[in-house]
Structure 1
Amino acid sequence: MPTATNRGVSLHYETDGDGPTVVFVGDVGYGAWLWGWHYDALAGPYETVVWDLRGTGDSDAPAGPYDVPTLAADLEAVLADHGVGSAHLVGAGLGGMIALRYAHEYNRARTLTLYCTAASGDAVDADALRSLSLDAGDTASLDGAFSPALREADPALVERVTEWRRADDATGEAFAAQAAAATGFEAPPLYEVTQPTEVYYGVEDPVVPVEAAASLADDLPRGTGEAVEGRHCCYVEHATVLTDRLTAFLDEHTDHEV
């Protein structure tokens, strides 16, 4: 289990596969389980990297406040520790914000895939974001993440997700510090983020309004946007379709030469 360090904070990450690197950047509170579907599908033709944000999983949980520039520096520490020269970034929510900042400040990002991300924390519904925390309860905290249809149709999946969350999710002060990083975010000048970017957003996402995510896609020089049925974790609920889309996007911008 590799570990990187940024200013004394230990950051856990895991890798799999062999090929061009794809790095997954998590959302507020959620552990690495969030990327299980994408990770398994891509590992092989791509090298996949998943890391625990500070406050989550096996990474350190220093006292807040946290901010996106610091979290982007954490990502740089992980990639430098692993010796990554360039990487495709896939981020959700806060992770999408981190990816935007990282792409602007550092030189390793090749493409961006952003799920349920806004260019400004002012667009994020702070109450809806807090309701996603396990502190709100196992069942209640899934309401804003997954559609009722999924939860009713696949209770076994919901049970597995709940077990994974209990093991790895950030709660309490760590969740609050990550949430504050998201709500306090202001994107760098979007015209300067020139990497090819795809933005996907849930049509019923209570945390990031459709208008905010669509506006982000429109304002990126090489951005495209697409609405997806579902709520804040629509990319998990429709992982099969979106993983296929992600694979096609990565293949378009990758020569598969390591």
Structure 2
Amino acid sequence: MPTTRNRDVSLYYEADGDGPTVVFINDVGYGAWLWGWHYDAVAGPYETVVWDLRGTGRSDAPAGPYDVETLTADLEAVLADHGVGSAHLVGAGLGGMVALKYAHQYNRARSLTLYCTAGSGDAVDREKLDSLALDAPSSLEGAFSPAFRDHDPDLMEQIAGWRAEEDATGEARAAQAGAMTGFDSPPLYEITQPAEVYYGLNDPVVKSDAAQSLAADLPRGTGEAVEGRHCCYIEYAPAVTDRLLAFLDEQTD
């Protein structure tokens, strides 16, 4: 599988499918498993690119601190290495902030789909964010509603296994969390790509009013409420994925 470098940091990514490129950008700590619910539906009509943020999975984990600007340069290294001329960006949490920065700084972004993110790190509850870490007690509580966790215990066990294999831990995860809470967006009125912002009504990490404000401040942004917590886009994956595909089709047409 391919790797590229941003200076002295090796970055791992995978690509699949044909058609216009869709790039998935992970949230704090989470590995590529995060996009398993979207991946099968999107790969095929679109080319998908999934990459491990520095500190995660098979990418290098240099000492922190990290910031969104550096992670954005990492993304540019991945897309340049893969020969991507333009891409639709799909980012969650920290990944949504990277997408915003990338869309402002580089010319490859065609559209933005943003999950549970905000235009400022000041809107992120660091204590609740840290409670999602792999080694935190009850780390799935802030991610998924009780009904979802209780409905499919086998799935929760699968997710725990994927996280143990792929997630960032320790200082690397803390550095990613610092990048998220330290984010200050570029002028949002200058980000003119079509954008859809989805937010969990019970997200403990990024409150819904912060995501609503982000959607309102993007010139071509729309906001969509989703029942659930910080990973509401997984909990309601069928509906969210259908909306994503419709949005991508609209932009491609």
- TM-score with structure 1 setting the length: 0.97
- Residue number in structure 2 paired with 1:237: 235
Instruction: Please give the secondary structure, in 2, of the residue aligned with 1:117.
Output: coil
Distance in 2 between the 1:153 and 1:189 partners? 42
Distance in 2 between the 1:7 and 1:161 partners? 33
- Residue number in structure 1 paired with 2:55: 55
Q: Does 1:173 align with 2:163?
A: no
Distance in 1 between the 2:248 and 2:128 partners? 32
Distance in 2 between the 1:8 and 1:120 partners? 28
- Residue number in structure 2 paired with 1:210: 208
Distance in 1 between the 2:15 and 2:210 partners? 32
Instruction: Write the mapping of 1:17-56 to structure 2, written as runs, cut at 5 A.
Output: 17-56=17-56
Structure 1, residues 81-128: CA drift from partner, whole Å, max 9, x if none? 000000000000000000000000000000000000000000100000
Give the unaligned 5+ runs of structure 2.
Answer: none
- Residue number in structure 1 paired with 2:160: 162
- Residue number in structure 1 paired with 2:191: 193
Q: 1:42 offset after TM fit, Å?
A: 0.6
Distance in 1 between the 2:76 and 2:115 partners? 20
Letter in 1 for 2:19: G
Distance in 2 between the 1:240 and 1:60 partners? 33
Runs (4 or more) in structure 1 with deviation over 3 Å come to: none
Q: 1:4 offset after TM fit, Å?
A: 1.1
Letter in 2 for 1:113: T
CA RMSD of aligned residues (A): 0.5
Instruction: Please give the secondary structure, in 1, of the residue aligned with 2:135.
Output: helix
Distance in 1 between the 2:113 and 2:44 partners? 19
Identity across aligned pairs (percent)?
A: 77
Instruction: Write the mapping of 1:1-258 to structure 2, written as runs, cut at 5 A.
Output: 1-137=1-137, 140-255=138-253
Give the unaligned 5+ runs of structure 1.
Answer: none
- TM-score with structure 2 setting the length: 0.99
Q: 1:8 offset after TM fit, Å?
A: 1.0
Letter in 1 for 2:188: L
